[in-house]
Amino acid sequence: MREGMLRGVTVLDLASVGPAARASRWLADYGADVVKVGPVPAQDGVQITPPFHAYSAHREMRRALVDLKAPEGRDVFLRLADGADVVLESYRPGVVDRLGIGYDDVRARNPGIVYCSTTGYGQRGPRAAWAGHDLNYLATGGFLDCSGPGPDGQPPIPGATVADSAGGGMHAVIAILAALVRRSATGDGAYLDVSVAEGVLALMALQIDEHLATGARPGPRHGMLTGRYACYDTYVAADGRWLSVAAIEARFWSNLCRALGLERWADHQTDDDVQDEIRADLRAAFATRDRDAWIDELGPADTCVAPVLSVAELVDDPQFNARGAFVDAVHPCHGSFRQLAPTLAGMTRPSGPAAVPDSDLTDTDELLRAAGISPEESVELRRAGVVA
């Protein structure tokens, strides 16, 4: 049995990508037994799957391939769900019910099930049936409008899937854990309707609450945390690399002004009339030295200055490596490589390389056996193309 805070919790994950897949990744990192339930290979041999390295290469997960459109496949899934604590799915609203594997179908057999549906816009509402991806949810949640602007004034495209991760995946995990805590006290399961776009609203709480309370119209460079003032911005150094400055508190701003020889601006941090002048002086100052020279001086000096690191830089960053943010992994086909380690607050990371599975192999037979399906039934299901 796996170790971890979620040891003993079994999760069936019907999603291969997106918020639900991120949620199951985090649940597995904390010790849950995650079973990825994917479709059987397409008849034409074409199957869309994430790259082998995506989602930390599905380390510490098991995998079964089941044709959920076949009545026999539905029955296999329901038997797997009989022994599960959590089901995660990300189909469009209504699909799992049409397949006969929805919350009511599972709850009828397993009343304590925690069933989490993650969709872009939720199970109801005028956008519920819309197709969408991360950028769409950031757009409808106000995130893009308050960011930037980019070239030609258009909202910039973020460098990470913020909505899927922080808006959808994390909210799914929080809701699942809360439901499991309640179940431990009451025995009751739960249906969780997670909307990625509503998760983005939670990220935008400061701006939304300001608008609702005061009528203000937040946007790019509207407030302190969106670049209105020179003390919260990015600046380029002599070598063309960038620094982030976030000297919000007066004492940090004063320290920065002193270090740059710009003491005259220490008392004008939020003076709107001189922000262009302050920015010009900061740009001129930072342009006199390379980025890392500034970081060596300003980082330890209580100035709230940090480097803008590329992905290629951050994987070798001393801070992250001191905390074990990356681990070695071994893949049976792709060999050894590094990957992002689980973020385990309150737990010790496993020692040694992480073993990641071959995407061509499954644990279907083992899982069917545990669900009470006989070897003879398994053979017949494989012969019929219901499982693989």
What 3 state SS string does 66-88 have? Answer: ECCCCHHHHHHHHHHHHCCCEEE
Residue 13 is among the residues annotated as catalytic for this protein = no
Set 33, 145, 164, 233: catalytic member: 164
Residue 58 is among the residues annotated as catalytic for this protein = no
Question: From CA 32, how far away is CA 25, in angstroms rounded?
Answer: 9
- Spacing of C-alpha 9 from chain mean position: 21
Reading the block at residue 130, the tokens are 């819309």
The structure tokens 């044709």 sit at: 67
Q: How does DSSP assign 269-335, residue by residue?
A: TT-GGGHHHHHHHHHHHHTTS-HHHHHHHHGGGTS-EEE---HHHHTT-HHHHHTT-EEEEEETTTE
CA distances from 230 to 99, 108, 117, 263, 274 (A): 55, 59, 43, 14, 10
Computed on alpha carbons and rounded to an integer, the radius of gyration of the chain in Å comes to: 25
**Residues sharing a CB contact under 8 Å with residue 320, sequence separation 6 or more, in sequence order:** 314, 326
The structure tokens 């519920």 sit at: 128
Set 53, 133, 222, 334: catalytic member: 133
Phi and psi of 118, rounded to 5°? -110, 120
Q: Which residues are catalytic?
A: 133, 164
